[in-house]
């Protein structure tokens, strides 16, 4: 296979589970009618977006995604990548890859790297010691490779879903219950801090894995995911390492840097209307496509040229996602054309 164009999408499925299966504290889950609307809407999105690779978040049951593929007439067109334990009891990341592209058996990474540490005695005598002991991802990260060009290296793809901004429910903790008078008025702040710490740790752990994958070589890498944070957030900065974006005929690129498709699109637009989530009337971008320098226009090692980004987000203007079968995130799609920079191959 020698693709001239490679399309990528990231798609939060908004708790896609079989009807009647529990979702968090909702013991009844989706009704049959709600489920059918969700499948129908998902089918329409798959048909409109027509991407070579879809990364999915918030899948509970493999059968539900398989059913959407079948209803869309795409079962014979894609390899379905879901973990073997996707049986409706927990949330997983998943993917579909156009037939002929997949070049490895997918894996799901639950644990942080063995050597990964978030521990410090402080940069100066005034800084207290810190030790974060989180050892795994809230949602296992999917990892697989694709081979869009026979004469070029395999592309590593990671699909991730980090802890949300919603405050952790500390009121369930024993220490909270033991002294509700002291902690009751602080539950929101403490819960939000814990969620932020967890999300930051997940970003750093994935960055650790990515750097190990990329450092000192020309391995192309793509990250598709709901990182539950914005383009300029610390979460995104940890993942990308904040590379410099060049313009004109300048060339550069960073060995372990990631470039956001959102920023690449902003360089081409006169107006930024990119958002993938609405909370309390605040629009922000939580879902991202990140690419290594092999997909960055101004990289010395460019293989693929950015050709545009689209966001399906009109459904976010309506709140009742159960009623219409939609999800609560926008879906983003980026396209790259095969155009190596002169001298790169």
Model confidence pLDDT, tens digit, residues 263-288: 888 887 765 557 666 555 556 778 89
The pLDDT score that the predictor gives to residue 149 is 97
| Domain span including residue 76 | 5-107+136-165+193-338
Any bridge partners for residue 108, and if so which? 142
The pLDDT score that the predictor gives to residue 322 is 77
The answer to whether residue 124 sits within a structural domain is: no
The Cβ of residue 2 has, within 10 Å, a number of other Cβ atoms equal to: 10
The pLDDT score that the predictor gives to residue 343 is 64
Closest alpha carbon to 260 in 279, 278, 233, 300? 233
The answer to whether residue 290 sits within a structural domain is: yes
The answer to whether residue 265 sits within a structural domain is: yes
The answer to whether residue 120 sits within a structural domain is: no
The answer to whether residue 130 sits within a structural domain is: no
Closest alpha carbon to 291 in 233, 344, 234, 245? 245
Low-confidence ranges of the chain (pLDDT < 50): 344-345
The pLDDT score that the predictor gives to residue 281 is 55
Alpha carbon of 203 to those of 182, 197, 228, 262: distances in Å? 32, 10, 11, 18
Extract the tokens encoding 237.
């900065």
* Phi (first) and psi of residue 92, to 5 degrees: -135, 160
The answer to whether residue 178 sits within a structural domain is: no
Who's near 333: CB < 8 A, 6+ residues apart?
Answer: 7, 8, 9, 49, 51, 309, 310, 311, 312
The pLDDT score that the predictor gives to residue 345 is 47
The answer to whether residue 258 sits within a structural domain is: yes
The answer to whether residue 97 sits within a structural domain is: yes
**CATH code, 304:** 3.60.10.10
Alpha carbon of 55 to those of 93, 124, 238: distances in Å? 7, 42, 21
Extract the tokens encoding 239.
């993942």
The pLDDT score that the predictor gives to residue 40 is 95
The pLDDT score that the predictor gives to residue 344 is 47
Query: Kind of pairing, strands 221-226 and 155-161?
Result: parallel
What domain count does the chain have?
1
Element at 240 (helix H, strand E): helix 234-240
CA atoms 245, 250, 254, 259: torsion sign: positive
Closest alpha carbon to 223 in 198, 194, 203? 203
Who's near 233: CB < 8 A, 6+ residues apart?
Answer: 227
- State the residue for tokens 């313009």: 247
């Amino acid at each position: 296979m020698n693709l001239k164009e490679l399309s990528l999408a990231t798609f939060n499925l908004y708790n896609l589970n079989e009807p009647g299966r529990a979702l968090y504290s909702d013991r009844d889950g989706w009704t049959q009618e709600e489920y059918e609307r969700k499948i129908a809407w998902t089918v329409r999105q798959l048909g409109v977006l027509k991407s070579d690779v879809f990364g999915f978040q918030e899948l509970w049951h493999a059968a539900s995604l398989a059913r959407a593929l079948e209803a869309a007439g795409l079962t014979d067109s894609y390899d379905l990548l879901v973990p073997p334990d996707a049986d409706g009891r927990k949330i997983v990341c998943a993917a579909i890859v156009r037939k002929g592209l997949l070049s490895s058996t997918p894996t799901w990474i639950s644990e942080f790297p063995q050597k990964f540490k978030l521990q410090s005695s402080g940069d100066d005598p005034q800084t207290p010691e810190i030790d974060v002991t989180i050892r795994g991802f809230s949602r296992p990260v999917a990892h697989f490779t694709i081979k869009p060009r026979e004469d070029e290296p395999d592309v590593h793809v990671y699909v991730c879903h980090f802890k949300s901004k919603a405050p952790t429910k500390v009121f369930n903790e024993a220490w909270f219950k033991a002294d509700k008078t002291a902690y009751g008025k602080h539950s929101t702040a403490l819960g939000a801090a814990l969620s932020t710490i967890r999300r930051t740790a997940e970003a750093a752990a994935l960055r650790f894995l990515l750097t190990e994958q990329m450092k000192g070589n020309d391995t192309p890498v793509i990250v598709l995911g709901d990182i539950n944070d914005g383009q300029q957030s610390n979460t995104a900065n940890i993942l990308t390492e904040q590379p410099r974006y060049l313009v004109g005929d300048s060339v550069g690129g960073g060995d372990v840097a990631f470039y956001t498709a959102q920023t690449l699109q902003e360089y081409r637009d006169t107006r930024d209307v990119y958002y993938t989530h609405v909370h309390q009337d605040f629009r922000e971008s939580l879902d991202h496509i990140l690419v290594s320098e092999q997909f960055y226009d101004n990289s010395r090692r460019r293989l693929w040229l950015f050709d545009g980004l689209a966001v399906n987000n009109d459904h976010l203007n309506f709140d009742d996602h159960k009623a219409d079968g939609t999800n609560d995130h926008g879906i983003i799609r980026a396209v790259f054309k095969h155009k190596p920079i002169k001298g790169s191959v």
